[in-house]
Structure 1
Amino acid sequence: MPSSFRLLLASILIQTVFSTQQAVTVKGIVNCRGHRQPGTFVQLYDEDSIFDSDDLLGSVVADHRGVFCVKGNTEEFTTIEPYLLIEHNCGYEGLNEKRVFTKLIPVEYITEGPKAKHVYHMGDIELLTEDAPVQKYEKRIYVETNIDERIRQCIPIYVQYKTFYEKTVFESKTHEAVLPTDENPVIVEEPIVEPTDGEGEVVAATEQYHETDENKQEEHEILEEEKKIEEERLRLEEEQKRLDEIRRLEEEALRLEEIRRIEEEKKRIEEIRRQEEEQQRIELERREEERRLENERRAEEERKREEEAKLQEQRRKEQEEEHKRRMEEYHRREQERQEALRRREEEIKRREEEEKTRISSSSETIVEKKDPCIQFPVLTQSHSISRNIEARHEYVEDPCLKR
């Protein structure tokens, strides 16, 4: 015993001396079926060995948005193993059962010291599991309504059970069965006592009193029965009035529904007719636009053809004028050439005559003179004249032909 105690004390001292303080911070959003869960209690534990219970590092309540941030730190000899724990009933509503959600925190988010340096953000935490028995749950909220709204809400139920209700109430006559109430007098039968010889008159008086009392009780019962019948009749009249009112409301609702349906049908037909007219108008506008564009295209083509014809006619006229001008120029030049040839022949003849006259007059001494026109050929009518430009130019610039 002392040795085990010493061993335990030594282990505690070693853990106290060599243990380090470690911290962790976890943040997340609690959801159930995709909806935030404000007020959820979230706990952060450190998992210990099987011989020691888990240590609570911290706890927090989620805010109105379902967001929580739980922090915790502890001193351990080894690295701590923190995990998140959430106790909930998501998926078990109305079954009086609880489930636990646990999530182990990664080691990289554990830091040494009293405060964590990194925050482990878990994001959206969905508490609903696939094996939960209640997958869909809608929380019912009671809203106080007035009597008219409740009557309108009960009309479909009355219409559905109208035949059954009328058959049960009016055909089976269950309204005639009246249960006893505490207001009815309780009749207690008194024990009958046999009369003796000396008590004849007393017995007779007592019997007369009892008969009078019984008559009063019978009259009272008859009055009570009549009163009950009258109350039942009034109740049935009220019930009939209420049923008539319900029927009237039902007929009014059906009439309004029929009127609304007819109005909607009229609106739908009017809308269809308006859409058809709009489509017809759009189609007519499209056809008119196509016809107008086609006419414009044809007019443009006709105008282009007319312009092309005018241009061709103008070019033809210009070509004719050019041909005519060239022919006139050719005839003019031909006439000038013929005239030049004629003048040159006349000049040659005149020079020959003058030469003959001079030779005959000066027969004594003949002095040769250099003829300046000797280098130019003498053109006669029989000679052919070149038609190239050089020959014509040379012929025109002949100085011998100048007067």
Structure 2
Amino acid sequence: MVIRTFQMHSLPVLLLIVEIVSAGILSEVGRIQSVAVSGRLQCNGKPASDVRVKLYDKEIVLLFHNLTVIYGFCFSLVLDYKMDEGKTDSSGNFYLRGGKREVTNIDPKVNIYHKCNYDGPCVKKLDIVIPDEYITNSKTPQQVFNIGTINLAGTFTGESVDCVN
């Protein structure tokens, strides 16, 4: 019974500590990677100025609970590591770049937070994944992923409402 109590209550905490420590160690062992993204945002065909944009590396942390075969389960927690942020200029243009040290490839994405055709208390959030071929293995990105011109008045798959950003 003592072992079972340890498994149920202490194991998740222990695994979280191991995950944090190993992430810290691996962050010093990995390679430096960087990425850059640019684009132009519009709202109803006009420049969308002062729109918040953020460049993230999507991190997935696996958390385990009760590692017995019969009762065990695992769930993942998605944490985004912010690499850069900014706002669009008066013409709706933006440029972000950032990087980090990681053992595996970074999973870069750009989040766009806007109020185009939306009167709610929060903001609409659009996530755009940056393809792996735009990741550079150095501090300085060698190429820029241009998302082109996006009219935020449209409806996008995966668009959500964000009250925290």
The normalised TM-score by structure 2 is 0.68
| One-letter identity of the residue aligned with 1:64 | S
Partner amino acid, structure 2, of 1:59:
E
Higher relative contact order (CA 8 A, sep 6+): 2
Aligned-residue offset at 1:12: 3.9
Tell me if 1:73 matches 2:99: yes
Other structure's SS at 1:53 match:
strand
* Larger radius of gyration between Structure 1 and Structure 2: 1
Contact 1:27 1:68 in 2 (8 A): yes
1:45 maps to which of 28, 40, 56: 56
Measure the CA separation in 2 of the matches of 1:6 and 1:90.
Answer: 42
State the shift of 1:87 in Å: 1.1
Amino acid in the other structure paired with 1:99: K
Change (3 A) 1:10 1:38: closer
Change over 3 Å in CA distance of 1:52–1:19 after alignment to 2: farther
> Given the superposition, is the C-alpha separation of residues 10 and 46 from structure 1 closer, same or farther in structure 2, using an over 3 Å criterion?
closer
Deviations 1:325-372 (A, max 9, x none): xxxxxxxxxxxxxxxxxxxxxxxxxxxxxxxxxxxxxxxxxxxxxxxx
Give unpaired runs (5+ residues) of structure 1: 132-403
**Identity, % of aligned pairs?**
27
Q: What is the distance in 2 between the residues matched to 1:109 and 1:33?
A: 29
**Structure 1 runs, 4 residues or longer, greater than 4 Å off:** 3-10
Give RMSD over aligned pairs.
2.6
Q: Structure 1 residues 65, 10: closer, same or farther in 2, change over 3 A? A: closer
Alpha-carbon shift at residue 63 of structure 1 (Å): 1.2
Aligned: 1:27 with 2:38:
yes
Change (3 A) 1:9 1:66: closer
Partner of 1:115: 140
**Which residues in structure 2 correspond to 1:181-192 (within 5 Å)?**
none
**Would the alpha carbon gap of residues 20 and 6 (structure 1) be closer, same or farther in structure 2, given more than 3 Å must change?**
same
Matched length: 129
- Equivalent residue runs for 1:61-210 within 5 Å: 61-93=87-119, 95-130=120-155
**Per-residue Cα deviation, 1:26-81 (whole angstroms, up to 9, x for no partner):** 01001111111111111111111033521001001111111110111111111011
Q: Could you tell me the TM-score, scaled by structure 1's length?
A: 0.30
The 1:71/1:5 distance shift into structure 2, 3 A limit, reads closer
Which structure has the highest helix share of the two? 1
Q: What is the CA–CA distance in structure 1 between the aligned matches of 2:78 and 2:89, rounded to whole Å?
A: 33
Higher share of residues assigned strand: 2
The Cα of 1:8 is off from its aligned counterpart by: 4.7
Supply the AA of the counterpart residue of 1:73: G
Residues 6 and 55 from structure 1, CA distance in 2 versus in 1: closer, same or farther, beyond 3 angstroms?
Answer: closer
Distance 2:29 2:79 in 1: 21
Q: In the aligned structure 2, how far is the partner of 1:81 from the partner of 1:11?
A: 19
